[in-house]
Amino acid sequence: MSSKKIPEKNGRNSFDAIVIGSGISGGWAAKELCEKGLKTLVLERGRDVKHIKDYPTATKAPWELPHRGHETQKIKDDEPVVSRCYAFNEATAHFFVKDTEQPYIQEKPFDWIRGYQVGGKSLIWARQTQRWSNYEFRNPSRDNYAIDWPIDHDDLALWYSYVEKFVGISGNLDKLKTLPDSECLPPWEMNKVEKEIRSDILDAYDDRHVIIGRCAHLTEPNPIHLEQGRGKCQARNLCYRGCPYGAYFSSNSSTLPAAEKTGNLTMRPYSIVTSIIYDDNMKKAVGVRIVDTETKEKLVFFADIIFLNAATENTNMILLNSRSERFPNGLGNDNGLLGKYICFHNYRGSLTATRPGNLDSYYYGRRPTSVVIPNFSNVESHDKPFLGGYMTFYTAARKSWNRIIEGDQIGAAYKNEISRPGEWSIYMMMQGETIPKQENHIRLSSDKTDRWGLPQMIASVDYDDNDESLLRDFFEQGEAMLKVAGCENIQRNDSRQSPGLDIHVMGGVRMGRSPKDSLLNANNQLHHCKNVFVTDGACMTTTGVQNPSLTYMALTARAVDFAARAWKEGAL
Ligand SMILES: Cc1cc2nc3c(=O)[nH]c(=O)nc-3n(C[C@H](O)[C@H](O)[C@H](O)COP(=O)(O)OP(=O)(O)OC[C@H]3O[C@@H](n4cnc5c(N)ncnc54)[C@H](O)[C@@H]3O)c2cc1C
Ligand code: SF4
């Protein structure tokens, strides 16, 4: 990608468009803007990460890592927040932000998990990609716990298809109303026990579906993927280290190279955007201010269109910090709702169990997805004592060598026993919707700053009674499903994890129909500053039950299409 040297247009550091952040949504904004012919500057606060070359641990065996891949106690003590993320370990730590790097204030416990580099969290995501259905878009206002979404699945369907074809999504055509089909590559296969559990559940319930999860892995690359230089997934599940085959979707392997190919991309790493510049006379945003983290210089870049894709918390912070005479409380914030209605996914509940039999059955490789039971709560009507719903995931696997074995932990008998796979163990977990509430918010500290002089984030986000009620329902329903499926030793586990650790934090700059109660319109434009677009998680009005990133991608491609057309017509 081009270096930091900035071409000058009209004697200024000017571009047609600026994209803030190069992660999942920023990568899509960059690709689409560049392919539509706009000279585009991507400002990325982190370092550059080149596909393949900068994946130093991708092919390392455990014995090639100083602590066999595990974090040390010192790292857990020094970095308590990031080390709580399940994907953070010795082999992936270089893609995560350490706690000490960017302090923030937890008014209520909040685990802020970040990936600051070219590619953002697209390098370290779990790649589960389920479309939203119209139930996710419409039920929140039907049940009166959120404002009306200004769009629904029908508005996004074309854009889902468009991004899915490029990304490569594996899955089945399941024909479910609660989980619309993607454009699918061949699915991963359920193993024998997962299939048995599926048929037991389907026999016992008439409101449940059980499908293999859809994920952004190339099971059979199409020409569109081979042209990107990406190949077939090897089912190794070492993905969080970066994939040298480009077999899972990341900005680094996919969208950013596509943007670069157009000749319209300028990538500027080490560039923290501090605020957006609003021109009172022109009544629009004209550019952004940055700090160069290598030279410590403060610089300004100009553009006609600005896409904010810094991930939910940072996007909120940049807007809150963009104060002007016209917008003293943050850009576009006339209604005072910027930073509010933050919501997230409730991942607290999981169940473990064992299932007897099938000791002659095993499975191939390390499949990068699990079995999914789409939401069955409050779907056609409000039929549960809580609001919203949840998706359920389960996997079945043979216990490994590290299982507890009775008797001597030494000697030939022990060695023989651990050389064989153990009984089948089942893991089931929830992904629950949370209700967007005004009191769950992010704001800027008035006296504490980070090392760049920027106000620290204050996070004030918590669970409520609805989350507890939904969690109870998951435990009851999950346990009942495992029982009908012949499972034993069923154990409930409430992780009590803090909000944020789900890494699906959304809202603060929500979309809506009216500037009175939302910040963005149906095209992701700020109601009051039409050339600024927000298409990352900050734009989400509600959380739905699905993993969100596929929706961010579709929203981004759709918003760029609108923005580029408006720009060409001189309307921006
Ligand atoms: C372990 C893990 C598992 C996950 N699993 C899934 C999953 O299975 N499915 C799913 O849908 N989602 C998953 N996610 C969430 C997913 O990663 C995010 O939803 C997605 O990356 C968000 O995209 P984004 O573009 O908004 O942000 P990011 O990908 O985080 O990119 C934001 C970029 O903006 C940059 N930036 C931030 N502030 C500034 C600034 N001031 N100036 C310039 N640049 C800035 C950052 O450095 C970063 O590169 C997972 C995340 C993690 C960590
Ligand atoms: S499992 Fe597939 S996507 Fe993940 S690192 Fe291996 S080859 Fe790449």
- CA 203 to ligand 2 centroid distance, Å: 35
Whether ligand 2 lies within 6 angstroms of the CB of 235 is answered as yes
Residues 143, 139: Cα–Cα separation, whole Å: 6
Residue nearest to atom 8 of ligand 2 (CA): 243
Six token digits for residue 201: 């559940």
Q: What is the atom index within ligand 2 of the atom nearest the CA of 246? A: 8
Element (H, E) at 168: none
Whether ligand 2 lies within 6 angstroms of the CB of 239 is answered as yes
Residue 208 has pLDDT above 60, yes or no: yes
List, as one string, the DSSP characters of 268-307. Answer: E-SEEEEEEEEETTTTEEEEEEEEETTT--EEEEEEEEEE
Question: How large is the average pLDDT for residues 9-16?
Answer: 74
Considering only 174-178, 341-345, 414-418, which range has the smallest mean pLDDT? 414-418
Question: How large is the average pLDDT for residues 6-14?
Answer: 60
Whether ligand 2 lies within 6 angstroms of the CB of 373 is answered as no
Express each pLDDT in 307-317 by its tens digit: 999 999 999 99
Tell me the average pLDDT of the chain: 96
pLDDT band at residue 409, thresholds of 50, 70 and 90? confident
Our mutation pick for probing the ligand 2 site, out of 52, 128, 185, 237, counting the most ligand atoms within 8 A of Cβ, is 237
Quick one: pLDDT at residue 46? Answer: 98
Residue 130 has pLDDT above 50, yes or no: yes
Q: What is the atom index within ligand 1 of the atom nearest the CA of 113? A: 53
Quick one: pLDDT at residue 2? Answer: 43
Of the bound ligands, which one is closest to the alpha carbon of residue 30? 1
Residue 153 has pLDDT above 50, yes or no: yes
pLDDT band at residue 10, thresholds of 50, 70 and 90? low
Q: What is the atom index within ligand 1 of the atom nearest the CA of 26? A: 25
Our mutation pick for probing the ligand 2 site, out of 52, 55, 217, 232, counting the most ligand atoms within 8 A of Cβ, is 217
Residue 6 has pLDDT above 60, yes or no: no
Whether ligand 2 lies within 6 angstroms of the CB of 247 is answered as yes
Residue 4 has pLDDT above 80, yes or no: no
Q: What percent of the chain has pLDDT over 70?
A: 98
Residue 237 has pLDDT above 90, yes or no: no
Cβ count near 323 (within 10 Å):
16
Whether ligand 2 lies within 6 angstroms of the CB of 248 is answered as yes
Whether ligand 2 lies within 6 angstroms of the CB of 123 is answered as no
- CA 112 to ligand 1 centroid distance, Å: 11
Residue 175 has pLDDT above 80, yes or no: yes
Whole-angstrom CA distances from 8 to 86, 178, 302 are: 44, 50, 10
Residue 7 has pLDDT above 50, yes or no: no
Residue 47 has pLDDT above 60, yes or no: yes
Per DSSP, which regions of 500-557 are E strands?
A: 506-508, 525-526, 529-534
Quick one: pLDDT at residue 12? Answer: 61
- CA 416 to ligand 1 centroid distance, Å: 44
Express each pLDDT in 258-274 by its tens digit: 999 999 999 999 999 99
Express each pLDDT in 476-511 by its tens digit: 999 999 999 999 999 999 999 999 999 999 999 999
Closest CA to 248 of 2, 58, 6: 58
Q: What is the atom index within ligand 2 of the atom nearest the CA of 366? A: 1
Quick one: pLDDT at residue 293? Answer: 97
Question: How large is the average pLDDT for residues 137-158?
Answer: 97
Q: What is the atom index within ligand 1 of the atom nearest the CA of 290? A: 42
Whether ligand 1 lies within 6 angstroms of the CB of 318 is answered as yes
Of the bound ligands, which one is closest to the alpha carbon of residue 124? 1
Quick one: pLDDT at residue 3? Answer: 42
Whether ligand 1 lies within 6 angstroms of the CB of 309 is answered as yes
- CA 217 to ligand 2 centroid distance, Å: 8
Residue 527 has pLDDT above 60, yes or no: yes
Quick one: pLDDT at residue 405? Answer: 84
pLDDT band at residue 82, thresholds of 50, 70 and 90? very high
Question: How large is the average pLDDT for residues 217-221?
Answer: 98
Question: How large is the average pLDDT for residues 36-56?
Answer: 98
Per DSSP, which regions of 21-118 are E strands?
A: 40-43, 105-106
Question: How large is the average pLDDT for residues 390-397?
Answer: 98
Residue 245 has pLDDT above 70, yes or no: yes
Whether ligand 2 lies within 6 angstroms of the CB of 217 is answered as yes
Quick one: pLDDT at residue 526? Answer: 98
Whether ligand 2 lies within 6 angstroms of the CB of 234 is answered as yes
- CA 2 to ligand 2 centroid distance, Å: 28
Question: How large is the average pLDDT for residues 377-386?
Answer: 97
Residue nearest to atom 4 of ligand 2 (CA): 239
φ/ψ (deg, to 5) at 51 = -55, 135
Exposed/middle/buried for 407, CB within 10 Å: 0-12, 13-18, 19+? exposed
Our mutation pick for probing the ligand 1 site, out of 132, 293, 307, 503, counting the most ligand atoms within 8 A of Cβ, is 503
- CA 283 to ligand 1 centroid distance, Å: 31
Six token digits for residue 311: 């991930």
Of the bound ligands, which one is closest to the alpha carbon of residue 233? 2
Question: How large is the average pLDDT for residues 557-565?
Answer: 98
Closest CA to 274 of 294, 300, 295: 300
Indicate the DSSP class of residue 496.
Answer: -
Whether ligand 1 lies within 6 angstroms of the CB of 512 is answered as no
Residue 428 has pLDDT above 90, yes or no: yes
Residue 277 has pLDDT above 70, yes or no: yes
Whether ligand 2 lies within 6 angstroms of the CB of 58 is answered as no
Residue nearest to atom 27 of ligand 1 (CA): 311
Question: How large is the average pLDDT for residues 32-41?
Answer: 98
Residue nearest to atom 51 of ligand 1 (CA): 125
Our mutation pick for probing the ligand 2 site, out of 236, 254, 367, counting the most ligand atoms within 8 A of Cβ, is 236
Whole-angstrom CA distances from 370 to 83, 214, 216, 233 are: 24, 9, 13, 16
Residue nearest to atom 2 of ligand 1 (CA): 125
Whether ligand 2 lies within 6 angstroms of the CB of 232 is answered as no
List, as one string, the DSSP characters of 363-376. Answer: --S--S--EEE---
Q: What is the atom index within ligand 1 of the atom nearest the CA of 127? A: 8
Whole-angstrom CA distances from 504 to 127, 494, 548 are: 13, 18, 7
Of the bound ligands, which one is closest to the alpha carbon of residue 221? 2
Residues 67, 69: Cα–Cα separation, whole Å: 5
Question: How large is the average pLDDT for residues 355-372?
Answer: 95
Element (H, E) at 319: helix 312-320
Six token digits for residue 71: 């974090």
Whether ligand 2 lies within 6 angstroms of the CB of 237 is answered as yes
CB 256 within 8 A of CB 277: no
